[in-house]
Amino acid sequence: MKNSLLAVLSIISYVTSAQVPITYTLRVQGDTVRWEFNATNSTDVIHFSKMDSVDNYNSPQKYEGKLCSWVFATGNQRITVGHNDGKLVAQRIALTDSIKTKFIQVNFFGDLSAHFPESYQRRFRGTVTYEIPEAYELANVAMALTEAGQADANMVRKDGDYISRMKQYFATAARHPLILRLNERLKSDGGNFYYGVRENAYAMELSKDDSPVNRGIYKAVWPRLNDMAQYPDQWADFVRKSGFRKFYSNNQTFYKDDIADVTRLLPVKRMQVWLEAQFPGIRYDGMRVVFSPLINGAHSAQKFTDQGYRESLMFICDAKGFNRSQYTGPQIEGIYSGVVFTEIDHNFVNPVSDKHLQTINEVFSNRDKWTKKGDTDHYGGAYEVFNEYMTHAVHMLYIKDQYPPDVYQLVRQSRVKLNGAQRGFYRFESFLDELQRLFDSRKPGQTVSDLYPAILKWAKDV
């Protein structure tokens, strides 16, 4: 599932929201509006004709201690949109071509940053951790009890012993005011609200009196309001009345077995070593894999930097959905790797793409050449489209380089079908074949980073 516009921030989602007053108006020149995001020095192009009536940009107020702002420009017009120290948490820009008027709404939420003390850095430097944290599982349980959550197969797994036990245990708690409130918000705000509740729960822990409190590492993990911080009493009341902590304690053996299973089938350290070799100069000091047995396909990734320490977070499903009698261990490992690899490698691919931005915008500006209507509509500009092609193709380079041929063929078939037929990146197979040819014929010392000019030249000429 699409979860981010930039490699490190989950910023744009296409959902409706309450209207706010118009703060700026731009007359669109030539169908394009360029945006710039100062916190990550990122830029891309919006095509007015491809926009929804309202596009919502969900942005942190701060990122790694830096005040965030956006620039939107078209023709000789240029505006800067900020939150004015929290006084304007939402701003709406009207875009018009004299016939139609559409809107961009920038919603500012929280301080997306972390503090990694020296003791934390010493403990986790060079490690990959796998975990099912208590407050994070609480958020997943609450979402899985809502009618809206259960109706969304991407958010909540539909079957399995654990979800059956969970539903039975919390049967009477499903009418708690917390669950009813979450359900209404999910119905109106959908996945954006879901990710905000779930991922920001990772910043929290449950105190002795069952209240959720910030654990002092992350100020925010997702650029939305932290629901547990906003409604601590309601969450604490649910914990007490539902017996959540007893449920969590009773399932510790299951969690430990599930963590061991994911650790075995998802060798993130192996992926990290390969990626750092292929994208020199890009590194992460620690990686954390956070998951719930209740998550199905709703995955996301985030990164943080503090005092030179770089950490990558991945929020994923477990491996219970794979048929152990149908696939071998290495085959499951290869297929499952796509869940995390295509999240991690955005943090490697995108920074190199930034160096080739002008060429990418020229080559991939014709969406019809590279995408079909559908899931690809969530990827607004040439930069995003190219990065999706590249991240999924790089994943296949890794699989071929690291696994036996039978695993490669199985994963290739699956990923070509996923990207070409299901997601709408219909040239993915030919793009992959060319990138693989370039990789196989690279000169000694060349890395994937060095192949960008060649793959972009191919894409221009194809």
DSSP string, 194-239: HHHHHHHGGGEEE-TTS-EEE-SSBS-SSSS--HHHHSHHHHHHHH
Cβ atoms of 195 and 112 within 8 Å: the answer is: no
Same-domain pairing of 16 and 122: no
Q: Say whether pLDDT at 7 is over 80.
A: no
> Is residue 390 a part of any domain in this protein?
yes
Same-domain pairing of 124 and 87: no
| pLDDT, tens only, 414-449 | 999 999 999 999 999 999 999 999 999 999 999 999
Same-domain pairing of 308 and 449: no
Mean pLDDT lowest for which of 30-39, 93-102, 451-460? 30-39
pLDDT of res. 149: 95
Same-domain pairing of 156 and 271: yes
List the one residue out of 434, 438, 433 whose CA is nearest residue 450: 438
Q: Which residues pair with 43 in a beta bridge?
A: 36
Same-domain pairing of 229 and 178: yes
> Is residue 249 a part of any domain in this protein?
yes
Same-domain pairing of 214 and 304: yes
Single pTM value for the model: 0.82
| pLDDT, tens only, 159-216 | 999 999 999 999 999 999 999 999 999 998 888 899 999 999 999 999 999 999 999 9
> Is residue 327 a part of any domain in this protein?
no
Same-domain pairing of 119 and 170: yes
What's the CA gap between 349 and 332, in Å, rounded? 25
| pLDDT, tens only, 30-46 | 888 989 888 877 777 88
Same-domain pairing of 137 and 17: no
The residue segments making up the domain with residue 102 are 12-109
Residue 304: CB partners within 8 Å, gap ≥ 6?
64, 113, 114, 116, 218, 310, 311, 313
Same-domain pairing of 364 and 257: no
Number of domains observed in the structure of the chain: 3
What's the CA gap between 97 and 348, in Å, rounded? 37
pLDDT of res. 16: 37
> Is residue 6 a part of any domain in this protein?
no
Residue 151: CB partners within 8 Å, gap ≥ 6?
none
What's the CA gap between 369 and 402, in Å, rounded? 32
* C-alpha count within 13 angstroms, C-beta hemisphere, residue 448: 28
Same-domain pairing of 126 and 59: no
> Is residue 49 a part of any domain in this protein?
yes
- Residue 308 vs residues 121, 146, 148, 289, 290: alpha-carbon distances, Å: 10, 41, 41, 21, 23
User: Do strands 32-37 and 66-67 pair parallel, antiparallel, or not at all (unpaired)?
Assistant: unpaired
